[in-house]
Structure 1
Amino acid sequence: MSVKECDHHKGRKRKIFQRIFWGIIIFLFIILLTILLIWAILRPTKPTFVLLDITVAAFNATQPNFLTSNFQVTLSSRNPNDHIGVYYDRLDTYVTYRSQQITYRTAIPPSYQGHKEIDVWSPFVYGTDVPVAPFNFVSLSQDQSNGNFYVNVKIDGRVRWKVGAFISGHYHLHARCPAYISIGNNGNGVNYGENAVKYQLDQRCSVSV
């Protein structure tokens, strides 16, 4: 009798554990399905970025194959979502010329952007005696002689989405803002301090997340 009773109790315990296990699995599945349904209904849209203006304080080839540049860029970011917030955990801004980075990276402080909110940042980005590829230096010298140059202001970062109490994992964000500037023609810009010219652009940036 005692052996049968032990087997009977073991069988009951096994069934109880199985029910608890499958109950937890079903509960987690329902939570995950609910989150996915909410996510699909809300349809998160990536933020929009606009390069409002750029102030050029320096853009000089100090010696062969080296460039010194100094910019202040004004960027706006808008969260187009009605029910989703955006955490900007990391944003780095820098400038490239013909696909080559010519400034150091400047970090924008982390922030949270609520529904339909707009943030504006004005970081300084610069590079001192940055090496330039020889083939790019030839184009750079020509652009300096012509008084015109074309650069890209780029933003790399990591963002998270907030839906109610749910916060997603990190996503990589990349923004690319083209800027065509006439450094030899102040008619396209406004003198802004000593040896600095500000150019109004209002250039929409391409964004990928």
Structure 2
Amino acid sequence: MSIKDCGHHKDKKKILLKRILAGVLIFIVIILLVILIIWAILKPSKPSFILQDATQYNFNLTSPAQLTSIFQVTIQARNSNDKIGIYYDKLNTYATYHDQQITLPTSIPPTYQDSNGMNIWSPFLQGQSVPIAPYIGSQINQEMEMGSVRLVIKMDGRVRWRVGSFISGPYRIHVNCQAFIPFGNPNSGIYVGRNAIKYQLIQGCGVSV
């Protein structure tokens, strides 16, 4: 008789455990569904970026296969969401030429951008005697003779979205800013120092999240 009672208690425990697990799963599904509905109603949009200007300090082919460049760029980031904030956990900024990175990445400090907020960053980008393919050096010379060099200023990092007290997981963000900079034409810029020339660009950037 005692053996049957023990088995009966075990069955009750199993049933109770299954009910608890089912209740937890239903609760999780409800929470996720609520978050999904709120997300669909808010319709979050990715931030927009504008490359405002670039200040040239050095841009020189030190040999046919080495490039030295030092300049500062000003980038504006705007959050157009009415009820969603953005955490920029990590952003690395660097310059490329024909898909080849020509400067070291410069990290932008982590920051929070409130709804309808705007941030402006002015990182320095530097590359000292960066090895490049010989044909790249030839193309740079040709573009400088034509009046401008086409660089791409890139930002790669991670962002999180905030809705009220809810904060999402991290998402990768990639920003590409086309920059036609007249390095070979100093008269199109403004001298802001002995060897520094600022070029106004006001160029929209492509953003993917």
- TM-score normalised per structure 2: 0.94
- Partners in 1 of 2:7 and 2:67 — Cα distance? 83
- Partners in 1 of 2:3 and 2:65 — Cα distance? 89
The one-letter amino acid paired with 1:177 is: C
- Partners in 2 of 1:2 and 1:153 — Cα distance? 78
Cα shift at 1:143: 2.4
Q: What is the aligned-residue RMSD (CA, Å)? A: 1.4
Would the aligned equivalents of 2:150 and 2:181 in 1 still touch at CA under 8 Å?
yes
Is 1:159–2:162 an aligned residue pair?
Answer: no
For these two proteins, the number of residue pairs brought into alignment is 209
- Partners in 1 of 2:23 and 2:148 — Cα distance? 68
- Partners in 1 of 2:146 and 2:33 — Cα distance? 60
The one-letter amino acid paired with 1:46 is: K
Bigger shift: 72-81 or 165-174? 165-174
Cα shift at 1:154: 0.8
Query: Equivalent residue for 1:23?
Result: 23
Residue by residue, what CA displacement relative to the aligned partner does 1:132-174 show, whole Å, maximum 9, x if unpaired? 1111111112223344211111111111111122211111111
- Partners in 2 of 1:43 and 1:196 — Cα distance? 43
Query: Equivalent residue for 2:178?
Result: 178
Residue by residue, what CA displacement relative to the aligned partner does 1:45-92 show, whole Å, maximum 9, x if unpaired? 111000011001111111121111111000010111111111111101
Bigger shift: 65-74 or 132-141? 132-141
- Partners in 2 of 1:183 and 1:37 — Cα distance? 50
Identity across the alignment (%): 53
SS of 2:152's equivalent in the other structure is strand
SS of 2:20's equivalent in the other structure is helix
Would the aligned equivalents of 2:78 and 2:116 in 1 still touch at CA under 8 Å?
yes
- Mapping of 1:73-92 within 5 angstroms? 73-92=73-92
Cα shift at 1:100: 1.1
* Structure 2 unpaired stretches of 5+: none
Would the aligned equivalents of 2:144 and 2:182 in 1 still touch at CA under 8 Å?
no
SS of 2:82's equivalent in the other structure is coil
SS of 1:158's equivalent in the other structure is strand
- Mapping of 1:113-152 within 5 angstroms? 113-152=113-152
The one-letter amino acid paired with 2:53 is: D
Bigger shift: 129-138 or 113-122? 129-138
- TM-score normalised per structure 1: 0.94
Bigger shift: 29-38 or 144-153? 144-153
- Partners in 1 of 2:14 and 2:129 — Cα distance? 72
SS of 1:157's equivalent in the other structure is strand
- Mapping of 1:16-95 within 5 angstroms? 16-95=16-95
SS of 1:41's equivalent in the other structure is helix
Query: Equivalent residue for 2:202?
Result: 202
Would the aligned equivalents of 2:155 and 2:176 in 1 still touch at CA under 8 Å?
yes
- Partners in 1 of 2:157 and 2:204 — Cα distance? 18
Cα shift at 1:22: 1.2
- Partners in 2 of 1:106 and 1:58 — Cα distance? 17
Bigger shift: 64-73 or 34-43? 34-43
SS of 1:39's equivalent in the other structure is helix
SS of 1:115's equivalent in the other structure is coil
Query: Equivalent residue for 1:4?
Result: 4
The one-letter amino acid paired with 1:72 is: Q
- Partners in 1 of 2:136 and 2:14 — Cα distance? 72
